[in-house]
Amino acid sequence: MPCVHQRVQRALDTLPYQSQLTPCCQAHDWCYSCAWKVGWTGTTGKSNCDYLFWDNLYRACDFNYGSWNPECTACKTTADTMYVAVSSAAQSYFTTDTCPGDSFKLSNTNFCFNPIYTLNSVVSYISSDLRGAWGSWTNYAQCPLGSWMNGFSARVQPYQGLSKDDTALNAVQASCATRNGTQMATNLIPGGGGGNFGSWLGYSMCPAGRHIVAIAMQVEPSQGAWSDYTAANTFAGLCSDGTVLTHTTTNFGSWSAWKYCPTKTAVCAFKVKVEQAGAADCTSLNDVEVACCAKD
C-alpha cells in the first residue's frame, strides 16, 4: 500500500482493509507530488491533501460496506489510523518539484479515482425567494476541501434615524468545519467583500459536527423613489440538527421561506450581491447565493 514514504508504508501495510483503501493511498501520493500544479503549496497544500485523503478513506468504507454495517465502523477506524500517520509526516514529503506525467490531473481527485463521489462537488445553488435588486455579484468564497459552512458573522449598520440613509445588512463572513467538527476556516468572505457600514457581530455557530443546510433572508422591498430602502436586513442559516442561526438586525422587511440544500449536501460556498457606497440611496447587501456540496 503506497502512502507517501517507506516508513509510513511499512506501518500501514500491517493494517486491515488493504484492498479497499489502497487506491486512496495512491491518490494521496499523487496529491503530494502534483498538488502544486493546481495551486496547493506549503503547509496549507499538505493539509488539503491530508484532509482529502481522510475523507476519501471514509467514502471508500461507506462505498464498500454501507454506513449501517459494523464492518464500516472498523474500516473507518483503520482510516483514522492512516490519516494520523500521513498527516504527522514531515512537511518535506510534500514536494513541489516532481509530478509524473499527467497525474497532476488526479492531485485533487476525490473518492480516490471515482469522480461520482466527488468531495465538495457542487450539487446545486440556492438563494432566497426574496432579494434586493441592486448591486453586483462578488466571486464565490469556498470552504476548504472536506469542510462545509458551520457558522457565520454579519456586518450590520444599526438604525440611523429618519434623516439618514440606512443600509442594514452589509456583509457576511463564514466559518467552515469538517464532518467531525474540526475548524478549517474562519472569516471566509467573498472576493469583493461587502458593504463597509456598521460593525461585525459575533459568530452564530452550529453545534460541533453540524453544518448549514438551508438559508433564509429578511428583505425590505423598494420604498419608492424618495424613500429610504435597505434591501437585505437579516441572513439566517439552518443547521443540520435544526438549530437556527441569525444575528441582531434592524428588522425591516419580510422573511422568505427556508431554501434547502438537497439531501446529503450542505453549504460549502457563498457569494453576495452588493451595492457599494455612492448610490443616492445605498442598500449595501442585496442578495446571498450559496452552493450546496456533497457531504455524505
pLDDT digits (tens, 9 = 90+) for 273-284: 888 765 555 677
Q: Please answer whether residues 16 and 1 qualify as being in contact, where contact means their C-beta atoms are separated by less than 8 angstroms.
A: no
Average pLDDT over residues 59-68: 75
d(CA 209, CA 197): 33
Closest by Cα among 174, 155, 118 to 247: 155
pLDDT for 84-137, tens place per residue? 988 887 777 787 667 766 555 554 444 454 333 344 566 788 888 877 667 888
- Report pTM: 0.60
d(CA 98, CA 36): 10
d(CA 36, CA 97): 9
Scanning the structure block, which residue is given the C-alpha cell 429618519?
A: 162
Q: Residue 126 belongs to what H/E stretch?
A: strand 122-127
d(CA 287, CA 178): 26
Question: 215: which 3 cell numbers?
Answer: 438559508
CATH topology of domain 122-294: Vitelline Membrane Outer Layer Protein I, subunit A (2.100.10)
pLDDT for 144-155, tens place per residue? 777 899 999 999
Question: 181: which 3 cell numbers?
Answer: 467538527
3-class secondary-structure state, position 206: coil
**Percent of the residues in the chain that have a pLDDT greater than 90, as a whole number:** 23
Q: Rounded to the nearest 5°, which phi and psi values hold at 78?
A: -60, -40
d(CA 195, CA 127): 19
The runs of H, that is alpha helices, within the chain are 6-12, 18-34, 42-65, 70-87
Question: 65: which 3 cell numbers?
Answer: 460496506
Average pLDDT over residues 49-68: 80
Identify the weakest region by mean pLDDT among 77-81, 105-109, 163-167, 207-211. 105-109
3-class secondary-structure state, position 59: helix
Residue 64 has pLDDT above 90, yes or no: no
Average pLDDT over residues 213-227: 77
Question: 263: which 3 cell numbers?
Answer: 439531501
Total count of residues recorded for the chain? 296
d(CA 153, CA 57): 32
Q: Please answer whether residues 59 and 27 qualify as being in contact, where contact means their C-beta atoms are separated by less than 8 angstroms.
A: no
pLDDT value of residue 121 = 63
Scanning the structure block, which residue is given the C-alpha cell 471515482?
A: 114
